[in-house]
């Protein structure tokens, strides 16, 4: 038998429009017609960007690890000047700087490279550089994406977040400090976005469950200074929370312990997407039990676009939570279903400006109808 492979059949995708777009003659026609030429070029560039995305992310990692953006924040420098400071040969540093300028993080003027507006904005986002550094774990997990999706690998990212698996006993202090710091630094933007689109007026006491070192509670205190606040998280995490003395601390695991009563608002900030449906359902039931009638629950986290896939949450966050092995980036519709199953009503979604930062759902525990008085009037 011949080793020469048989020629592939012509590519004919389903659907009339797809077949038309895939036809070489139609592509050549679009490239030649002024009104369609720009559209064809933009679509081609978008396809190429999809292909080169992993290179961009790795060059961003190099810029962060070498602190190039930080150094250029002090003023422009050339590749020759940066090379010895970064221990990178000048010709290779030039390639990195060119890539940074192409990504609009830097701006080139002659041989000098300046920090661009996008680069300055990058440095201004709390915790963003640390999150990029943390991606070395995710990159390794995705080295074989097919094996990853088939569940044939053991993702290292799952070991970075030990609390997700319900770690028992005292956690490694260094590990606890590392993930607490990463969560805290990335939580500032989430808190700002959430509080810009929901109101806590009329609330008496808010308890943040799984609140880490208390970033969300400090943001709430800044906006609502008279609101009573409480934190519930693992004992080792709560111990590291830098909070005012009047904010109550409750150490425990929502997997194993009931939640303290007394709060009329309970917030879950980036908690549900760390866990399986079974864990989420059990947690929502505990929240329901802890709230008084009319009490509110707040769900604050990135959410899938569901029937309308989101270009950020359905790529980055969905893959990230999959690598955690227990997590899942759910749509607002799916979370609404879980809230309703737990007994919550008046479920609403607050429209934010940056869905890639967070989304907000809130719901209420219904007020129980008064029981009829069945006593007999004997007078």
What is the pLDDT at residue 18? 61
Q: What CA–CA distance (Å, rounded) separates 180 from 333? A: 30
pLDDT given for residue 188 in this prediction:
82
End-to-end CA distance of the chain: 106
Domain 28-124 has CATH 2.30.40.10: no
> Which homologous superfamily does the CATH classification assign to the domain defined by 141-364?
Vaccinia Virus protein VP39 (3.40.50.150)
pLDDT at 175: 55
pLDDT tens-digit profile of 69-107?
999 999 999 999 999 999 999 999 999 999 999 999 999
More reliable by pLDDT, 30 or 318:
318
Residue 327: its pLDDT value, please?
85
- In angstroms, the CA 311 to CA 201 distance is 34
* pLDDT greater than 90 at residue 371: no
Separation in Å, CA 26 to CA 17, 42, 302: 11, 16, 40
Instruction: Lowest mean pLDDT of 49-53, 186-190, 202-206, 296-300, name the range.
Output: 186-190
Is the per-residue pLDDT at 177 higher than 70?
no
Q: Could you give the CA distance from residue 145 to residue 151 in angstroms, rounded to a whole number?
A: 10
- pLDDT exceeds 90 at position 226: yes
Q: What is the pLDDT of residue 131?
A: 85
- Average pLDDT in the 209-231 region? 94
Mean predicted confidence (pLDDT) in 51-57: 92
Domain segments of the chain: what residues? 28-124, 141-364
Lowest mean pLDDT among 148-152, 153-157, 276-280, 300-304: 153-157
Is 3 or 145 the better-scoring residue by pLDDT?
Answer: 145
pLDDT grade for 184, boundaries at 50, 70 and 90: low
The whole-number pLDDT of residue 128 equals 85
Note the pTM of the prediction, 2 decimals: 0.80
Give pairs for 94-98: CB < 8 Å, separation 24+. Answer: 96/59, 96/62, 96/63, 96/66, 96/68, 97/68
Mean pLDDT estimate for the chain: 86
Task: Report pLDDT digits (tens) over 118-150.
Answer: 999 999 887 788 889 888 889 999 999 999 999
Q: What's the mean pLDDT in 175-202?
A: 78
The answer, yes or no, to whether residue 1 has pLDDT greater than 50, is no
Residue scoring higher pLDDT (185 or 145): 145
Can you give the pLDDT at residue 64? 96
Percent of the chain scoring above 90 in pLDDT? 59
Range scoring the smallest mean pLDDT among 241-245, 321-325, 355-359: 355-359
- pLDDT of 366 > 90? The answer is yes
């Amino acid at each position: 038998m011949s080793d020469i492979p048989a020629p592939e059949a012509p590519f004919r995708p389903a659907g009339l429009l797809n077949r038309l777009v895939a036809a070489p003659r139609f592509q050549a026609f679009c490239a030649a017609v002024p009104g369609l030429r720009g559209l064809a070029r933009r679509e081609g560039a978008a396809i190429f960007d999809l292909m080169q995305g992993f290179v961009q992310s790795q060059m961003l990692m190099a810029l962060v690890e070498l602190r190039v953006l930080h150094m250029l924040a002090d003023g422009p420098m050339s590749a020759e000047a940066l090379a010895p400071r970064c221990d990178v040969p000048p010709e290779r540093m030039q390639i990195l700087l060119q890539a940074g300028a192409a990504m609009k993080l830097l701006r080139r003027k002659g041989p000098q490279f300046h920090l661009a507006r996008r680069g300055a904005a990058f440095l201004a986002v709390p915790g963003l550089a640390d999150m990029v550094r943390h991606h070395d774990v995710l990159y390794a997990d995705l080295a074989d994406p097919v094996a990853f999706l088939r569940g044939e690998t053991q993702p290292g990212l799952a070991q970075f977040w030990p609390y997700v698996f319900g770690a028992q006993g005292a956690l490694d202090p260094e590990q606890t400090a590392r993930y607490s710091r990463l969560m805290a630094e990335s939580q500032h933007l989430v808190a700002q976005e959430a509080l810009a689109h929901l109101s806590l007026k009329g609330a008496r006491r808010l308890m943040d469950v799984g609140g880490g070192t208390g970033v969300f509670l400090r943001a709430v205190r800044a906006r609502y200074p008279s609101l009573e606040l409480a934190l519930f998280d693992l004992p080792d995490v709560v111990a590291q929370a830098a909070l005012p003395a009047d904010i109550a601390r409750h150490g425990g695991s929502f997997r194993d312990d009931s939640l303290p009563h007394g709060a009329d608002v309970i917030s879950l900030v980036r908690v549900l997407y760390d866990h399986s449906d079974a864990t989420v359902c059990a947690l929502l039931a505990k929240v329901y039990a802890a709230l008084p009638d009319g009490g509110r629950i707040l769900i604050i986290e990135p959410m899938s676009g569901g029937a309308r896939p989101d270009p950020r949450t359905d790529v980055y966050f969905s893959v990230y939570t999959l690598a955690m092995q227990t997590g899942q980036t759910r749509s607002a519709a799916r979370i609404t279903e879980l809230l309703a199953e737990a007994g919550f009503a008046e479920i609403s979604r607050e429209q934010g400006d940056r869905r890639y930062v967070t989304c907000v759902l809130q719901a209420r525990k219904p007020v129980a109808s008064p029981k009829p008085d069945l006593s007999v009037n004997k007078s």
